[in-house]
């Protein structure tokens, strides 16, 4: 599935020039498109100095661990079964085991170990023992973009103008699968892409939603939080690693009519997400980034992610927020056809 591009498949390519698509889908080329209602996709903190988002793959965490662990258990069980059968035949003494049978079982066991190792490298190991999420910060005061990458460096900090932002597009994996779009940034150095990151959750098949997500960041960076046409703004994405949040994200997300139908898949996914989050570390920004992003109005300034995913204050404020959300998504999706026509009309696809 192309939703996993940049994580489990279709790794981002660096050390190259911008492609025709990236130029055509760049927001500089799409200035004629107007969005009146910016969209919050994965925003977890906002104050007078910076916005902070989760990375694109935050919503899918636990998926790779679930399938990786299942594959490892199956192949190791098969290997154990082969060894057990051979052992039972030997101790029973019913017949003589020829040397070729030992070689065959040994080859199958070695193959199972190889498959298990590959499953860990390609799936399980990319989900567990890492970070719960990889945040991105946009500092409007210093005009810097900070991307958490983990490892020894922990973060990449680049000037706002050194990033080429565009509507990212993933290549479909299956013949019946459409493109998945997101808000993506290429860090540029002397005209060469040196790093790629995706901001917030993906937009499914709607490039318009990615454009509306970009509109929120652009307005904040150019004019500050007062330019965001909410109020009241309430954040929806939670980064608390609780089973309740995992359940809400994966079991409750299909909607009332689909919850029971999807339960055989979504409930194991929710459990896998919870275990994955518990086995991962919370990201901690380097002191240089914390110093750069210190709020001018103090630590209590702005909003932070809620403890429960999707939990907003009840009453007129909640109704206003949800109404705004529905209208903004509707407005953004209305631009899809024109956006695709312009992008694909200019780009080599």
Instruction: Tell me the three-class secondary structure of the chain, residue by residue.
Output: CHHHECCCECCCCCCECCCHHHHHCECCCCCCCCCCCCCCCCEEEECCCEEEECEHHHHHCCHHHHHHHHHHHHHHHHHHHHHHHHHHHHHHCCCCCCHHHHHHHHHHHHHHHHHHHHHHHHCHHHCCCCECCCCEEEECCCCEEEEEEECCCEEEEEEHHHEEEEEEEECCCCCCCCCEEEEEEEEEECCEEEEEEEECCCCCCCHHHHHHHHHHHHHHHHHCHHHCCCCCCCCCCCCCCCHHHHHHHHCCCCCCCCHHHHHHHHHHHHHHHHHHHHCCECCCCCHHHHHHCCCCCCCCCCEECCCCCCCCCCCHHHHHHHHHHHHHHHHHHCCHHHHHHHHHHHCCC
Per-residue burial over 6-34, b if 16 or more Cβ lie within 10 Å, else e, is bbbeeeeeeeeebeebbbbbbbebbeebe
Q: What is the pLDDT along the chain (349 residues), one digit of tens a residue?
A: 567 878 887 789 999 999 999 999 999 999 999 899 998 889 999 888 999 999 999 999 999 999 999 999 999 999 999 899 888 887 876 666 778 888 888 999 999 999 999 999 999 999 999 999 999 999 999 999 999 999 888 999 999 999 999 999 987 766 666 789 999 999 999 999 999 999 998 998 999 999 999 999 999 999 988 888 765 577 889 999 999 999 999 887 666 667 777 788 889 999 999 999 999 999 999 999 999 888 655 444 678 888 888 777 666 777 787 888 889 999 999 999 999 999 988 655 4
pTM: 0.89
Strand partners, 192: 189
């Amino acid at each position: 599935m192309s939703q996993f591009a940049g994580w489990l498949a279709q790794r981002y390519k660096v050390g190259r020039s911008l492609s025709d698509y990236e130029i055509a889908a760049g927001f500089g080329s799409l200035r004629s498109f107007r969005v009146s209602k910016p969209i919050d996709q994965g925003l977890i903190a906002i104050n007078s100095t910076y916005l902070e988002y989760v990375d694109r793959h935050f919503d899918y965490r636990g998926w790779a661990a679930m399938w990786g662990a299942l594959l490892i258990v199956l192949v190791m069980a098969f290997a154990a079964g082969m060894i057990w059968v051979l052992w039972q035949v030997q101790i029973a003494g019913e017949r003589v085991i020829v040397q070729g049978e030992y070689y065959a079982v040994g080859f199958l066991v070695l193959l199972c170990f190889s498959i298990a190792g590959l499953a860990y490298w390609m799936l399980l190991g990319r989900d567990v023992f890492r970070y719960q999420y990889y945040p991105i910060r946009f500092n409007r005061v210093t005009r810097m973009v900070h991307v958490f990458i983990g490892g020894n460096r922990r973060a990449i900090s680049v000037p706002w103008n050194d990033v080429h932002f565009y509507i990212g597009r993933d290549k479909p994996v299956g013949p019946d699968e459409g493109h998945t779009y997101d808000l993506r940034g290429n860090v540029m150095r002397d005209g060469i892409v040196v790093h790629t990151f995706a901001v917030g959750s993906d937009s499914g098949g709607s490039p318009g939603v990615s454009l509306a997500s970009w509109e929120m960041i652009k307005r904040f960076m150019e004019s500050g939080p007062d330019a965001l046409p909410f109020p009241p703004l309430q954040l929806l994405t939670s980064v608390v690693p609780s089973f309740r949040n995992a359940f809400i994200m994966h079991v409750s997300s299909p909607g009332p009519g689909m919850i029971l139908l999807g339960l055989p898949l979504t409930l194991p996914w929710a459990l896998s997400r919870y275990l994955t989050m518990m086995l991962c570390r919370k990201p901690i920004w380097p002191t240089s980034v914390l110093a750069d992003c210190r709020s001018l109005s103090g630590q209590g300034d702005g909003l932070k992610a809620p403890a429960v995913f999707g939990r907003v204050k009840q009453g007129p404020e909640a109704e206003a927020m949800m109404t705004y959300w529905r209208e903004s998504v509707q407005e953004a999706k209305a631009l899809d056809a024109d956006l695709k026509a312009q992008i694909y009309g200019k780009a080599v696809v």
